[in-house]
Structure 1
């Protein structure tokens, strides 16, 4: 769909809502938005104030949001129009499609003839309610213990349901609660999708096998709608365009090499790069949620509101949730429990491990906190070992340098202390940050107390 066609559709949507066609300034705002111009640039060309352009834009986004049944903004106007095109014309056998109170009739070609319609009937009024055609949650783990993650749930829900993000990375160190959060999220939003599937990535999922699994799943959901002469399986992207789908990929770190910088694909998994790029670049109405210790390198953590990619790095639990874990092990009454929670970074798995050790051995937790002791039970060491073994030799050198420092250090000091070039050091720090193994405070870097203790013991 070109700019003229998008403006034509937008004009008719606005006319149906207001009884007026787009004026010159409204058309300029929409055209400039499609050409990725700023409000300031649009105002300069139209010889008016930037505030006037912003006000007109805000009114347009509100009208379009109401009529299309989704949040439309300057950042997603083009993709919203493309999704409208897909929903209207992906199936050429449809003779009539209704979007709220606007009729799009006739063949799938432009220009469109949009006419006034009759008042919406009950079926139309409920059109925003998505019918779930098919779900496969056989690989999704049970929720188990779940602690309050309201801000994170709200963020993910907004990205998926309102901003229509296509590719979301949920990352964080082992045991922090990524999978539990995703399970809780899925239970809350799964009925907003026609197709929902949860896949745990392991060695058996080559790119071809994975894509075949999804196509088989989606095609099965369509069988009831296909005539005997039209049961041809489509490319994966077509299913993602034809239906609102949610695909969850757990343990995506299994796609990447151990002993290399973060996010390097194993040779046999290189085709996943093309798949994720396709999901990002091509217009569709579905969402992939990737969960893992590492994420693909192309899924950057840089926050760019103009892309359909989002990354959420999960942090530790707050003090109240941490105390719930301690309460399960009879440790809720210890003095200064807040210090213990901070020491283990609010990591649910780490806190459970050390609380279990304290309970079994009858150690005085209060005395333990007096001398800043870091306990590393064997099960916790096993978890830390798994993540440490994935790192490259270069990253191990940098972690060894950081483990010798009790305070955060800057780049200059790390260069001075180690025999590492500035380029290698920067790459290692970036990789460790993407693995969530180091913390950054301004221009300073440090290891968590738990990892520092673990590395010192190697």
Structure 2
């Protein structure tokens, strides 16, 4: 068995489990393992840290173990693949026409030409015959490094699988890791559903376009199951009632207007309100997971009354998990690393941005981290600008007030300094809170150091423009 055959077989196995082909780093790890290199040698060859190579390797062995139904590790990878080739050859004539499951984007429980080498018991086999999985994960982003989110994963899994929640909002400030968490979640629970689809709202599809895409997905699989039957298209809610479905809507904030308080639908998109209302009210066995900076107002309004509606607001990583990011950048041992993590609120994207700046400037920037200096690399400013551009003028006024205060302030002081109606102030604070842009400590409000620094910079830039 040559290396090319090994990589092709491994790629088939990984694609069968994840719907994604081998990444360059995964392929390099397999090449090195086949040639009996250790992780340090592999890391040197691809110019990555040994810890990062080891982490990706562990994820890869886990994927292969799950797909083959046996323990796969760096030490037994070669023998496992050679044994698999022998088994494939002996079973080829018997299995070459079998397809374990259909997938619009090419995902299946087992690749078309790779039989299940560990046959399930009769009870499991009968269940799989009636519960074929259909996955369209073509729009799901590639899962990069995943830093510990064990409590959040456990919470979402419980809500979806045990409590059968119908509508879940996953929210948090930009860069906090919403999409990465959702990808990890889908990889873990996708086989519990008959249908799984990841749909990005980045292009702001109308409700008709969105529903047409989903109904087409359902109807295609039904036609393949019953080719001789002329299947009648059903309303979307009927499919959600008929099948156990998991539908992920990413970038849901694109449904809402800019320069408005959070959650106001753009003209022509108000019908999404009715869809989310149906998902909440009508009886069905499916789950919608909404990911975005903003969420529909009705989610926060009804979750206290409806046990099937939930919101999870992501906060930053803890020190141990965030330090793994610094370790990947070779900065795990810098002085005051815990203070750096705290200053950037454990936000993965913010930490990566600052780590890149420190790395590219040879580490001399760390001298600036001794005091309370907040570094705002240009790419981080671009990310924050995208979110700040969505704010209403009222919200910008409140942020400007908070940016001038080094300590948390209460409503009375904000009213006095801002000279605005109490109703306007309260609405602006509520909207900013839902956007995860302000922090509340009892009856006091404040900005994080990063957002305060950016707000001051943005205000100064705006004044210069005027």
Aligned to 1:269: 269
CA distance in 2, matches of 1:177, 1:301: 24
Q: How far is 1:227 from its partner?
A: 6.8
Cα distance change, pair 204–303 in 1 and its aligned pair in 2 (3 A):
closer
Alignment of 1:250 with 2:261, yes or no, is: no
Alignment of 1:325 with 2:341, yes or no, is: no
Aligned to 2:285: 285
Q: How far is 1:125 from its partner?
A: 9.8
Q: How far is 1:128 from its partner?
A: 9.4
Cα distance change, pair 128–405 in 1 and its aligned pair in 2 (3 A):
farther
Q: How far is 1:202 from its partner?
A: 2.5
Cα distance change, pair 132–292 in 1 and its aligned pair in 2 (3 A):
farther
How is 1:89-128 mapped onto 2 (pairs within 5 angstroms)? 122-123=122-123, 127=127
Alignment of 1:423 with 2:423, yes or no, is: yes
Aligned to 1:353: 353
CA distance in 2, matches of 1:350, 1:266: 29
Taking only aligned residues, the RMSD between alpha carbons, in angstroms, comes to 2.0
CA distance in 1, matches of 2:172, 2:206: 24
CA distance in 1, matches of 2:385, 2:167: 30
Task: State whether residues 137 and 198 of structure 1, in contact with CA within 8 Å, keep that contact through their aligned partners in structure 2.
Answer: yes
Q: How far is 1:133 from its partner?
A: 3.1
Q: How far is 1:294 from its partner?
A: 0.4
Deviation per residue, 1:394-450 (Å, 9 max, x gap): 000000000001111111111111111110001000100111111111111111110
Task: State whether residues 133 and 221 of structure 1, in contact with CA within 8 Å, keep that contact through their aligned partners in structure 2.
Answer: no
5+ unaligned residues in a row in structure 2: which ranges? 1-120, 459-466
Alignment of 1:163 with 2:163, yes or no, is: yes
CA distance in 2, matches of 1:336, 1:126: 58
Larger deviation: 199-208 or 213-222?
199-208
Moved >3 Å (runs of 4+): 121-130, 224-230, 363-366
Aligned to 2:454: 454
Instruction: State the aligned residue count.
Output: 338
CA distance in 2, matches of 1:447, 1:312: 21
Deviation per residue, 1:27-76 (Å, 9 max, x gap): xxxxxxxxxxxxxxxxxxxxxxxxxxxxxxxxxxxxxxxxxxxxxxxxxx
Aligned to 2:202: 202
How is 1:358-377 mapped onto 2 (pairs within 5 angstroms)? 358-364=358-364, 366-377=366-377
Question: How high is the TM-score relative to the length of structure 1?
Answer: 0.71
Question: How high is the TM-score relative to the length of structure 2?
Answer: 0.70
CA distance in 2, matches of 1:313, 1:215: 30
Larger deviation: 127-136 or 425-434?
127-136
Alignment of 1:308 with 2:308, yes or no, is: yes
Aligned to 2:142: 142
How is 1:198-237 mapped onto 2 (pairs within 5 angstroms)? 198-203=198-203, 205-226=205-226, 228-237=228-237
Aligned to 1:442: 442
Aligned to 2:52: none
Task: State whether residues 263 and 296 of structure 2, in contact with CA within 8 Å, keep that contact through their aligned partners in structure 1.
Answer: yes
Q: How far is 1:268 from its partner?
A: 1.5
Q: How far is 1:305 from its partner?
A: 6.6
Task: State whether residues 133 and 191 of structure 2, in contact with CA within 8 Å, keep that contact through their aligned partners in structure 1.
Answer: no
Larger deviation: 405-414 or 183-192?
405-414
